């Protein structure tokens, strides 16, 4: 679910001292976007939220989430709001839990 090579690459790119701040900001903004996800907001808003989540997930290595968001964004972008938002929320929750549980081990060495 989490692409740890990408996470280590990001940490190396921005430096360990700024990494925690970037992760904190991403998780805060992702929580807000996840809470906003709704087909009742319309296809355009749904596509925008999924686009944000996709990009952030790619940067932070949340691979399974980024794939679901990419598919959902494409569908919502064409006006189809029958996106499985429960699957998107579940993937975010699972990726975040894995990240929070294993991040320290990923950087130990």
pLDDT single digits (tens) 29-81: 999 999 999 999 899 999 999 999 999 999 899 999 999 999 999 999 999 99
User: Could you tell me if 81 and 54 are in contact, meaning their C-beta atoms sit under 8 angstroms apart?
Assistant: no
> Which residue range is the domain that position 88 belongs to?
4-107
107 versus 31: which is more confidently predicted?
A: 31
Q: How far apart are CA 22 and CA 43, in angstroms?
A: 29
pLDDT score for 107: 77
Q: 76: domain CATH number?
A: 1.20.120
Tally of structural domains, the chain? 1
- Give me the pLDDT at residue 50, please: 96
Average pLDDT, the chain: 92
Predicted confidence (pLDDT) at residue 109 exceeds the cutoff of 60: no
């Amino acid at each position: 679910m989490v692409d740890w090579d990408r996470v280590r690459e990001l940490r190396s790119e921005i430096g360990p001292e700024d990494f925690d701040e970037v992760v904190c900001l991403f998780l805060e903004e992702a929580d807000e976007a996840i809470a906003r996800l709704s087909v009742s907001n319309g296809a355009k808003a749904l596509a925008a939220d999924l686009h944000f989540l996709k990009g952030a997930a790619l940067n932070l290595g949340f691979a399974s989430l980024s794939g679901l968001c990419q598919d959902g964004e494409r569908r919502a972008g064409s006006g189809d709001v029958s996106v499985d938002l429960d699957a998107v929320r579940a993937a975010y929750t699972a990726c975040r839990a894995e990240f929070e549980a294993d991040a320290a081990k990923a950087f130990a060495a």
